[in-house]
A and B are shown apart, each in its own frame.
Chain A
Amino acid sequence: MRSDRHILLTLFPVYSVIVGLFLSGLMMLFLGQNPLIVYRDILVFAFRDIYNIADIFAKAVPLIFTGLAFGFAYRASLFNIGAQGQFYMGCLASVSCSLYLSFLPKPLLLSICLLSSLIIGGLWGSLIGYAKARFNANEFLLSLMSTYVAIAIMNFLIRGPLIEAKGEYPQTDVIAQSAWIPLLIPHTRMHMGLILALLVAAAVYFILWKTTLGYKIRAVGMNRNAARFAGIDEKKIFVSVFFISGAFAGLAGFTEVNGIQHMLVQGFNPMIGTEGIGIAILGNTHPFGIVMSALLFGALKVGGALAVQVSNISSSFLGIMEGFVMLSVIISYFVRQRIMSMLEKRRLQEESKVKAL
């Protein structure tokens, strides 16, 4: 099945993005806007200057993490819909360390914040894995609900022990300079969290395809029965996959709190978990694809946020664009399958004609 025609087919994610943007463009027309102008604006603004280009990367960082979170679990045929909650728990862990341990030297403080967000996010996620292993519970529902519980915990802490000194708004104080992630490019928002994200993406690739753990994960994901017959302990896989997945989402908490916001505000970044799902699917649940998709969405957000100020489109239109792109990705899988089986049928018909001669 490795023929040249199929190279064209592997570019399908690109096609589906184009289709998704096209559909969004149609919707814009319907609303009386000129999509060409809007898209031109988005491109122009996104790449207008270093600050914006850097911002693309900055916006992509948490998406890479939540995308990897969903995608990694998906490889084991597990559905982690709770990345949003794991992200919030990671935020809480990191901001707490930043607030209470601010007397520590920067490298140590940052390391602790990083580790804490990773561990807390991971533990929060592993609860789901454990429930699935022990009770055969439905992880889809559990992970969904866990986000709402995480939100409750976050709201409680932010309005209580962690609240800012002024006590006015539901948010923490700004964290000390020593807890700020250093910038990669000065006078922008692109911070070293990007390197962390790329390293983690590379690690995911390595884990999945070069280690025995990854082998087990993929086997369980592709055929749970065969994996059991081969002596693979699926329960251990459930717990470890959810831990790792939750840890990734938790790390997004570290990068967002310590790298961008420098504080924790109630209800911030509320769609990061869901967007991560969309990005994972667009990126074919492969770390490389996920990074690319995250960058694409980052560009849409940066350009879009500015284009919105110039044109009449509301910022919430970006959500619609994301949705369209996701839908067209899904439909593209179908189209691709159909094309491949049509090609096969035609090939067979030609072969049997040759035989008959």
Chain B
Amino acid sequence: MSLEDRDIVVKMTGITKYFPGVLALDNVDLSIKKGEVLALLGENGAGKSTLMRILYGMYRPDGGQIKVNGQVVNVGSPKDAMELGIGMIHQHFTLVPVHSVVENVALGAITDPKRSFSMEETANEIEKLGQTYGLEVDPFAIVNQLPVEMQQRVEILKALYRGARVLIMDEPTAVLTPQSTEMLFNFIRDFRKAGNSVIFISHKLNEVMEIADRIVVLRSGRVIGEIPREKASEQELAQMMVGHELGEIKLRAESQAVVSKAEPILRIENLKVKGNLGHWAVDSLDLEIFAGEIHGIAGVSGNGQDELTEALYGLRPVSEGSISLKGTPLTNCKTRDIIDLGVGYIPADRHREGLVLDMSVEENLVLKGFDLSPFSQKGILQEGSIRQYATQVIESYAIKTPTPDTPVRYLSGGNQQKIVIAREVAVAKYLLIAAQPTRGLDIGSTDYVHQMLLRARNEGKGVLLISTELSEILSLSDRISVIYRGRILKTIDRRDVNIDEIGLLMMGVTSEQ
């Protein structure tokens, strides 16, 4: 049966949604057919997640209608969605980390009167489903002890256990290695073969091109276009996503790295750091970073990156090993001292760690320098100097804010990140640590951040870049190290990069095996 003839299983018409401060969806139409993989493509903030959450009953639309199998339905809650056969795999898993797999799956099915509550029966069913779809998992394992791709399996099993025929997947590959992504795609193909549908939300063009049957592009809450995959090209899709001609993303390789190979600016030797669960999150790690290079750390999240950067910044105790900056030991120093030595840190979660949302732009800009002259004298804040500095920075970084006095909460994500970067670049005399610096940003802001990192590097600073977006690491780094289970497996120069090799290394497979 050709694509056009297949039945439409879900039809959304005229969907509109308001949030405080923004019109998230503007009269969106979307239909999904049986046995198809539909990709929802768009930038961060385009409205893809919002639309799907409405379909899944987590949000209520301010306008529009949903039809499932031809009937108009009111999806008032996820319970309704599940009864209609719609399941969702969220970007941030809706799992209870301290509970076991069985408990989580049982929770997911708790509103289903047909399911018994016996743990054994549930476990058996989980094993059966796992074998059918290649999603094996130990039913009695505790979720927070499972690696990320296994946790995702639990999330999928929850939906399958509930009898989902339409599976919504929200950015499922964000946390996967290239190899795990391929395994996920195999599952999707099997699922589709059985006559089910998948709605695949993503902002990654190449993946969409690989797995989708049909592609719908969203931008700023509107449907821009809909194309069957055979007729689509990456160029066209990118243009639809962004809305204007994209210049070729320059391969940064051109600009010469000013790497001074003399003495490393940061030297980490045999570092051992304990994680929250008592295990060795960083396990005999060695690393060297030179001035004038961007050193990217590639790896699936959860392999010790967070603990490494926390240890570097004095926020987590080091059990063994040493860290030194230009010869000065940094191991287990106080954060304040590390800052004073000239190390800046762009944190992964700017809302949680980078900014005090209810403080003003200028207050956030001096978050690391308020204690020093000229911003304060003898413990009294010098408001004039602070204001002057803030005005300067706002101009040179083109930060969009009504006044320097405005609480940072009201700025856009891109502008908020500019504040963090401006501050950290000023602090980083020698070393700048950047963790997921472009998370949640649109293309324009992402580009800006990349420019800033390159500029820092060209000024002779060392930049430690940690990102789960492999493309980001590849395009910016002069050298790339792959981290796995708390250890650096290999460091590769950009000229010698091989994506398959890196993918394997991210999964712990070294070439000696």
Q: Do A and B bind each other?
A: yes
B109 to chain A, nearest CB (A): 35
How far, in whole Å, are A26 and B68 apart by their CA atoms in the complex?
Answer: 53
Residue of A nearest to B423 (CB): A230
Q: B370 — which chain A residues lie within 8 A by C-beta?
A: 212, 215
Against A, the Cβ 8 Å flags (1 = close, 0 = not) of B72-91 are 00000000000000000000
- Which residues of A have CB within 8 Å of B371? 212
Indicate if the CB atoms of B354 and A226 lie closer than 8 Å.
Answer: yes
Q: How far, in Å, is B71 (CB) from chain A's closest CB?
A: 30
B314 to chain A, nearest CB (A): 8
Q: CB distance A219 to B367 under 8 Å?
A: yes
Query: Which of A215, A231, A232 is B381 in contact with, Cβ under 8 Å?
Result: A215
* B359 and A219 within 8 A (CB): yes
Q: Which residue of A lies closest to B380 (CB)?
A: A211
Cβ of A222 under 8 Å from chain B: yes
* Chain A positions within 8 Å of B393 at CB level: none
The verdict on B334 contacting chain A, using a C-beta distance below 8 Å, is yes
Specify which chain B residues have a CB less than 8 angstroms from the CB of A215 in the assembled complex: 363, 370, 381
Of B21-29, B128-136, B148-156, B468-476, the stretch lying at the interface with chain A is B21-29
Out of A211, A226, A233, which one reaches B355, CB within 8 Å? A226
**Smallest beta-carbon distance A357→chain B, Å:** 14
Closest Cβ–Cβ distance, residue A279 to chain B (whole Å): 23
Q: Considering the chains assembled together, what is the distance between the CA atoms of A226 and B358 in angstroms?
A: 12
Binds B, one of A8-16, A53-61, A163-171, A344-352: A344-352
Docked-complex contact A229 and B345, CB < 8 angstroms: yes
> Interface residue tally of chain A, by bracket?
20 to 34
Stretch in B36-44, B165-173, B335-343, B497-505 with 4+ CB within 8 Å of A: B335-343
Complex: chain A residue closest to B338, CB-CB? A231
Contact, CB under 8 Å: A223 / B352: yes
Contact between chains at A226 and B381 (CB < 8 Å): no
**CB within 8 Å of A: which of B367-383?**
367-368, 370-371, 376, 379-381
CA distance A292 to B334 in the complex (A): 42
A229 touches B347 (CB 8 A): yes
Q: Is A138 an interface residue (CB 8 A)?
A: no
- Decide yes or no whether A218 CB sits under 8 A from chain B: yes
Residues of B within 8 A of A228 (CB): 315, 335
Contact A210 B345 (CB under 8 A): no
Q: Say yes or no: A212 contacts B357, CB within 8 Å.
A: no
Q: State whether A210 touches B359 (Cβ < 8 A).
A: no
Q: In the bound complex, do residue A226 and residue B356 qualify as a contact, i.e. CB atoms below 8 Å apart? A: yes
A352 to B335, CA, bound (A): 47
> What residue in chain A is nearest B405 (Cβ atoms)?
A2
Q: A345–B24 Cα gap in the complex (Å)?
A: 12
B26 to chain A, nearest CB (A): 7
Given known contacts A228-B315, A230-B368, A222 and B356 CB-to-CB distance under 8 angstroms: yes
Candidates A1, A211, A212, A222; contact of B410 at CB < 8 Å? A1
List residues of chain A with CB within 8 A of the CB of B339.
230-231
> B337 — which chain A residues lie within 8 A by C-beta?
231
- CA gap between A225 and B310 in the complex, in Å: 12
What is the chain B residue whose CB lies nearest that of A218? Answer: B359
Q: A218-B359, A226-B354 are in contact. Are A348 and B336 (CB under 8 A)?
A: no
State whether B18 touches A349 (Cβ < 8 A). Answer: yes
Given A341-B20, A349-B18, A231 and B357 touching (CB < 8 A)?
A: no
Identify the interface centre among A212, A227, A348, A352: most chain B CB within 10 Å of its CB.
A212
Question: Could you say which residues of chain B place their CB within 8 Å of the CB of A213?
Answer: 379
Is B493 in the interface zone, CB < 8 Å from A?
no
Cβ of B56 under 8 Å from chain A: no
> Whose C-beta in chain A lies nearest to the C-beta of B359?
A222
Given the complex of chains A and B, what is the CA–CA distance between A222 and B352 in angstroms? 10
Contacts of A345 in B (CB 8 A): 18, 20
Interface 1/0s, chain B 324-341, versus A by CB < 8 A? 000000000011111100
The CB with the most chain A CB atoms within 10 A, among B315, B354, B367, is that of B367
B380 touches A348 (CB 8 A): no
Residues of A with C-beta under 8 A to B234: none
Answer yes or no: B313 CB below 8 A from chain A CBs: yes
Interface size class of B (residues with CB under 8 A): 35 or more
Q: Which of A211, A215, A227, A231 has the most CB of B within 10 A?
A: A231
Residues of A31-58 at the interface with B, using a CB-CB cut-off of 8 Å, are none
Report the minimal beta-carbon distance from B131 to chain A, rounded to whole angstroms: 43
Task: Give which listed residue, B26, B367, B380, contacts A230 with CB less than 8 A.
Answer: B367
Does B353 have its Cβ within 8 Å of any Cβ on chain A?
A: yes
How would residues 120 to 149 of chain B score, 1 for a CB under 8 Å from any chain A CB and 0 otherwise? Answer: 000000000000000000000000000000
Chain B residues with CB under 8 A of A349: 18
| A205-221 contact mask (Cβ, 8 Å, vs B): 1 or 0 | 00000111101001100
Collect the chain A residues with CB atoms within 8 Å of residue B21's CB. Answer: 344, 348
CA distance A222 to B327 in the complex (A): 36
Partner of A210, one of B338, B354, B357, B381: B381
In the complex where A212-B371, A229-B353, A231-B336 touch, is A344 in contact with B20 (Cβ < 8 A)? yes
- In contact, B367 and A226 (Cβ under 8 angstroms): yes
**Chain B residues with Cβ under 8 A from A348's Cβ?**
18, 21-23
Residue of A nearest to B314 (CB): A231
Asked whether, in the complex, the Cβ of B376 is within 8 Å of the Cβ of A231, the reply is: no
Instruction: List residues of chain A with CB within 8 A of the CB of B315.
Output: 228-229
Task: Looking at the assembled complex, report how far the CB atom of B405 sits from the nearest CB atom of chain A, in whole angstroms.
Answer: 10
In the assembled complex, the Cα of A231 lies from the Cα of B20 at a distance in Å of 34
Is B352 within 8 A of A225, CB to CB?
yes
Indicate which residue in B18, B335, B376 contacts A229 across the interface (CB closer than 8 Å).
B335
Nearest CB of chain B from residue A306's CB, rounded to whole Å: 43
Q: How far is the CA of A31 from the CA of B341 in the complex (A)?
A: 70
How many Å lie between the Cα of A212 and that of B386 in the bound state?
A: 12
B127 to chain A, nearest CB (A): 40
* CB-nearest residue of chain A to B340: A231
Chain A residues, CB < 8 A from B336: 231-233
In the complex, what residue of chain A is closest to B402 when comparing beta carbons?
Answer: A2
User: Of the candidates B314, B334, B347, B379, which one forms a contact with A212 in the assembled complex, judged by CB atoms under 8 Å apart?
Assistant: B379
Q: Knowing A345-B18, A348-B18 are in contact, say whether A227-B381 is a contact too (CB < 8 A).
A: no
How long is the Cα–Cα vector from A213 to B22 in the complex, in angstroms? 37
Q: How far is the CA of A213 from the CA of B357 in the complex (A)?
A: 19
Assuming the contacts A231-B334, A233-B336, A344-B21, asked whether A210 and B352 have C-beta atoms less than 8 A apart, the reply is no
Q: Residues of B contacting A229 with CB < 8 Å?
A: 313, 315, 335, 345, 347, 353-354
Q: Which of B401-423 contact A (CB under 8 A)?
A: 410
How far does the Cβ of A194 sit from chain B's closest Cβ, in whole Å? 27
Q: Which of A213, A215, A233, A345 counts the most B-chain CB atoms under 10 A from its CB?
A: A215
Are A223's CB and B381's CB within 8 A?
no
List A residues 223-247 near B (Cβ within 8 Å): 223, 225-233
> Shortest beta-carbon distance, B220 to chain A, in Å?
11
Chain A hits for B335, CB < 8 A: 228-231
- List chain A residues, Cβ under 8 A from B334: 231, 233
Sample 6 A-B pairs with CB under 8 A, ordered by A number. Answer: A210-B381, A215-B370, A223-B355, A223-B357, A229-B315, A231-B337
Residues of A within 8 A of B (CB): 1, 210-213, 215, 218-219, 222-223, 225-233, 341, 344-345, 348-349, 351-352
Which B residues lie at the A interface, using CB under 8 A?
Answer: 18, 20-23, 26, 313-315, 334-339, 345, 347, 352-359, 363, 367-368, 370-371, 376, 379-381, 410
Per CB-CB distance, the 5 closest pairs between chain A and chain B, nearest first, are: A231-B336, A231-B335, A223-B356, A230-B367, A231-B339
